[in-house]
Amino acid sequence: MFERKVKSRKKEKVMDLNKTYKNPVFLTLLSVVLAVMLFIAFKNILPTAREKAFCAKLNELAEKRLIKSVFDEAGEKIEFYSLENSFSKTVVFSLAEDEGKPAEIYAAKLKVKKNGIITKVKGIVNLSRTPDAEEGVYDVKSGWVAFATSMGAAVQSVTTVRVSGNYRSLFVFKPTVKKLQLEWENNGIKLAVAYMLKDAKKEIMLNPVKKCIQPATEEIKYFSEVKGEESWIAACVNFGRKILGVEFVGNMEAVFFLAKDRFDSLSYSVGKFFSGKKGVFKQGAGNAALKNIEPVIKNDVLKGEGVWITDGLPQGENKNRPLLARTIYRPDPERPYALVDLLYADSEQIEIFPIGGTIHPISTTGIKGKGIIPSDEDTRKRALFAFSGGFQAVHGSYGMMVDGDVLLPAIKDIATLAMYADGTFNMGVWGEDIKEAATMVSYRQNLKPLIRKGIFNDKNKYWGLSADKNKSIYVWRTGFGITKDKKAVFAIGNSVSAASLAKAMLAAGVEEAMHLDMNLVNVACEIYLPETNENKEQKKGKNGELLLKAVHLNNRFFGTPGRYIKPHTRDFIYVVRKRN
């Protein structure tokens, strides 16, 4: 009886399965799944348009013998120009796409005939991604690739990465070294590195899995990547550029800026509202050491407009020589709602340092920014203020060097803020006023000069990638300049064009100026004060770092202050008090 029931149940299950397999919905879903699987399979087999183009390019370069040092994944060298047999395998190779350009390290699966003709390319991976730096030294072993990145004869870093492009580790030299050699040991588990530091030959061992260096040494450190913070608006815009293109997003921004400018005009005419919040400003006693600015809008002068005050700012030791001072100024009579905040700093009492963001500007040399004001006690005690830096690399790969590390090489004829080993700084045009020097430790470039020798640069039509270059775009903008007596002035304003921003800086006595970043979510200026306890001692964080209290230079600025005392995706410049 029991056996009959079991057989009956088995028969019912078989009948149910038969019904399921004959069900048209099931058959349709199964057909779709199989079609997708076949599509993916064929897609992986057939080369893409990019891979076809790369294949043609490789054959062209092979004729010039520009494909160099070809290795398979195991690390065996392939004599690419004297093959004994054809092959089809994943290889790693050095490639200079042009004889005048630095080489890059690539991995790809190549199908090559005995005569050296490449017939198929799949799975292209640019392992180095450093178009402005050279990778002349590299080694391959057991699926691991190691390469040294150099600018000229100076080696800046060593990178280890899997052939797939995964598990990338960056080890940075400071100071840079020369005559470096690499060799994988123990089947790719450890990397032997030999180099010259000054006149001494040194040897170390890197472990790409444990991210450690043996023996530990001061001149090379593992660079731990940190995910920086970014506003959701900026993240959406950057995502849109990748999907829709830079030009399309630029045109959309121009439409938005035009509408925003009209809205600001209406808001001001109705209730004298400025961009973001109503214009409420503290009226302090003007500082006699600084010459006030004469307002251009005579019939409706704002409280405190053009008057330099030191209220709410870190103070210097000499009251007759202010460390910092601020004022507000409206440069455009046609736009009385366009308000520029000006921040003055005595250059003889301060030092300036640029910091690369964790993402932007995207480095072309392999070195990345940390995106945060250093947390060491000395820096945190002397910190005064910080402000937004320059454009992303997508809007112009303008140069940036941070403490000797080149993120992007300098470009001739571009406005440059340069910092030197003795704590001084200067601004001018690269190749004229600013040139490479052994004493230069940092620089940041952005666009053509905004102000040159006391005159607005009206010859430059490109002041931001926002549609028509011949039409002024009124938006939030920032700038940094120096006066005739080398004092520093930072400017940040809403509803300004490059010309009206320059007008505000010229009114403050600026002789040389550089246009910095633009758009409300990108620009910032925050003041730092020590965060103290009941005993007026500066508080410390979990890791023992001194805590800073950040406040906006003006409460109408976007976001919560403190973006630069934690990792940030975009570059910035911070200012500290000089040591006594």
Tell me, what's the pLDDT at 186?
77
pLDDT beyond 80 at 561:
yes
Q: What is the pLDDT of residue 87?
A: 93
- What's the pLDDT tens digit per position in 434-451? 999 999 999 999 999 999
Which of 33-37, 69-73, 575-579 comes out lowest in average pLDDT? 33-37
Q: Of the candidates 192, 196, 161, which has an alpha carbon nearest to the alpha carbon of residue 179?
A: 196
| pLDDT value of position 536 | 80
Using CA atoms, how far apart are residues 399 and 417, in angstroms rounded to an integer? 10
430 or 274, higher pLDDT: 430
pLDDT in tens, 367-419: 999 999 999 999 999 999 999 999 988 888 899 999 999 999 999 999 999 99
Return the DSSP state at 251.
Answer: H
Residue 277 has pLDDT above 70, yes or no: no
- pLDDT at residue 399, as a whole number: 96
- Mean pLDDT for the chain overall: 88
Query: Beta strands of 186-249 (E only): which ranges?
Result: 190-197, 200-207, 212-214, 220-223
Is pLDDT at 2 greater than 50 in this prediction?
Answer: no
3-state secondary structure (DSSP) of residue 262: helix
On whether the CB atoms of residues 98 and 158 are closer than 8 A, the answer is no
Q: Which of the pair, 3 or 77, is modelled with greater confidence?
A: 77
Reference 493, options 515, 477, 510; nearest CA is 477
Q: In this predicted model, which residue has the larger pLDDT, 535 or 502?
A: 502
Q: How confident is the model at residue 6 (pLDDT cuts 50, 70, 90)?
A: very low
pLDDT confidence bin for 545, thresholds 50/70/90 = confident
The pLDDT, as a whole number, for residue 419 is 97
Sequence-separated (6 or more) residues with CB below 8 Å from residue 269: none
pLDDT value of position 11: 54
* pLDDT tens readout for residues 198-256: 889 999 999 999 999 999 999 999 999 888 888 878 788 777 777 777 777 777 777 77
Q: Report pTM.
A: 0.85
How large is the average pLDDT for residues 264-289? 69
